[in-house]
Amino acid sequence: MRIPEPPPAGTLGHFLRSRRARLTPEGVGLVSYGARRVPGLRREELAQLAGVSATYYTRLEQGQSTNASESVIDALASALSLDDDERGHLHDLARPARTKRRRAARPDLARPGTVRLLTAMTDVPAVVLGRRTEVLAWNRLGHLLVAGHVDVEAPGRPADRPNLARMLFLDHHTRELYPRWEEEAARAVASLRLVAGQFRADVELAALVGELVLKSDEFAALWSKHPVRSCVSGTKHLRHPVVGALELEFEILHLPDAGGHRLMTYTAGPGTPSESGLRLLGTSSRVEGGVRSASAVG
């Protein structure tokens, strides 16, 4: 049995090693001497580029130092040629994890105002996600589009509510929904990595990652590469079992003061076959109530 990399422990060192491995001495203007047992820069080479001592960098990568200054982290980000998402992720990982006194767990709920907004969006598929990609609410079209095979009332049951990341890797119906599954999987893991860096004390998020690492070799392989990407918009290609091929634009809106809740919407270009497909999907089935969520049924 494969033992999963424990999120959140050790992720700073893992991230630094993964980004150090993708650089070459020649690519950063250093002279390389002799063969290398592993790809990428050596620790002392990266420390030299960042202007810190090799001993200090080694301690940082090994998790023995947890108080790096903002200037040191910025220097490392520049030396590693990180993009904006990766730079922000590095700063998240370098900060001490915020822990709170344990309280009795309360189910995460979509806010009533958010549910009302979903109800009003009758022609646009929409889903409210928690930070762990669990479905907190969806409107009728959102349910029919992404998980019509799942009980529409499921978001109202915290114990078994749908989780888009889990379904993508472990549910064959969801896998068949995406003809470009590898692209969708890579995007999902990169987004989940970003969230894991922001909420390192979230034990439920850690449990989700551990479950997926154990149950899906594909997830484990992607997770081990430590991809990071803020996925707030883009194109999704779907092969829907009822209406066929769809090319939809998605937008993710981060809801304020909602603990990482996000509203995801799907739209089709005007006059396109996908617009006709969404319209057909809207007439294919009727569900009373318009939206299903924990706050709607609880």
Distance between CA atoms of 172 and 157, rounded to whole angstroms?
Answer: 22
Residues 126, 250: contact at Cβ < 8 Å? no
Comparing 7 with 219, the larger pLDDT belongs to 219
5 within a domain of the structure (yes/no) = no
Which residues make Cβ contacts (< 8 Å) with residue 172, sequence separation at least 6? none
Residue 144's nearest CA partner among 234, 246, 212, 232 is 246
Q: What mean pLDDT, rounded, does the chain reach?
A: 86
| Per-residue model confidence (pLDDT) at position 97 | 67
290, pLDDT greater than 60: no
Burial (0-12, 13-18, 19+ Cβ within 10 Å), 20: buried
**Total number of domains in the chain:** 2
2 within a domain of the structure (yes/no) = no
Find the Cα–Cα–Cα–Cα dihedral 196, 198, 201, 206, rounded to 10°. Answer: -10
Distance between CA atoms of 34 and 56, rounded to whole angstroms?
Answer: 25
pLDDT digits (tens, 9 = 90+) for 228-249: 998 899 999 999 999 999 999 9
Both 270 and 214 in one domain: the answer is yes
- Residue 100: which region, alpha, beta or left (left: phi > 0; alpha: psi -120 to 50)? beta
Both 137 and 206 in one domain: the answer is yes
pLDDT digits (tens, 9 = 90+) for 263-286: 999 999 999 999 999 999 998 754
Confidence category of residue 182, pLDDT binned at 50, 70, 90:
very high
Confidence category of residue 3, pLDDT binned at 50, 70, 90:
very low
192, pLDDT greater than 90: yes
Percent of the chain scoring above 70 in pLDDT: 87
26 within a domain of the structure (yes/no) = yes
Residues 163, 170: contact at Cβ < 8 Å? no
Both 61 and 207 in one domain: the answer is no
Residues 278, 146: contact at Cβ < 8 Å? no
Both 197 and 286 in one domain: the answer is yes
pLDDT digits (tens, 9 = 90+) for 64-78: 877 788 999 999 999
Distance between CA atoms of 94 and 69, rounded to whole angstroms?
Answer: 9
21 within a domain of the structure (yes/no) = yes
294, pLDDT greater than 50: no
* CATH number for position 82: 1.10.260.40
User: Across 97-111, 213-227, 250-264, which has the greatest mean pLDDT?
Assistant: 213-227
Q: Which domain holds residue 283?
A: 112-297
Percent of the chain scoring above 90 in pLDDT: 65
Both 172 and 270 in one domain: the answer is yes
| Per-residue model confidence (pLDDT) at position 65 | 74
142, pLDDT greater than 60: yes
7, pLDDT greater than 60: no
289, pLDDT greater than 50: no
